[in-house]
Amino acid sequence: MKVRLSHTHWTFLKFLVVGVVNTAFGYVLYALLVALGLSPQPALALSYFGGVIWNYMTHARLVFGSRGLSRLPLYVLAYLLLYGINAIGLQALLSTGLSPFVAQGLLVLPAAMLAYVLIGRVLTGRFPWSPPA
């Protein structure tokens, strides 16, 4: 029995695979910076922004089929929003006494789901205020 995925499902599957690689890179960088003595919030900032260009290229080309850098400014804005939400969540979890490693680990999945929505809209140009195609 052959399973055929819709375009939306195929895009989501590609986003997940690329996202796992990008998230692993970001989390390893975060953990390494914390292990080297950097405080969790600066480590989070560096890990987020260290991967923005790499993540843009992988998301744009491999997932959404976008070429060029025309959507990079909106992508960076989406990442700033994602970073802000993550930073607030991290601070909230750290205040409960969780270790920085566990706290950020708990935020990975919800952050990835939000990223799919925001990044998908940025790279496809489909915004709530856009007219239907």
* pLDDT tens, per residue, the chain with 133 residues: 677 878 778 888 888 888 888 888 888 989 999 999 999 999 989 988 887 888 888 888 888 888 888 889 999 999 899 999 999 999 999 999 999 999 999 998 898 889 888 888 888 877 555 544 4
Q: Which of 109, 90, 108 is nearest to 99 (CA)?
A: 90
The pTM of the full predicted model, rounded to 2 decimals, is 0.73
The torsion angle over the Cα atoms of residues 99, 103, 106 and 109, rounded to 10 degrees, is -140
Q: What is the pLDDT of residue 24?
A: 85
- The pLDDT of residue 127 is 59
Cβ-based neighbours of 126, under 8 Å, separated by 6 or more: 120, 133
**Per-residue pLDDT at 128:** 55
Q: Tell me the two tokens of residue 114.
A: 């939000």
pLDDT for position 48: 82
**What is the pLDDT, as a whole number, of residue 133?**
46
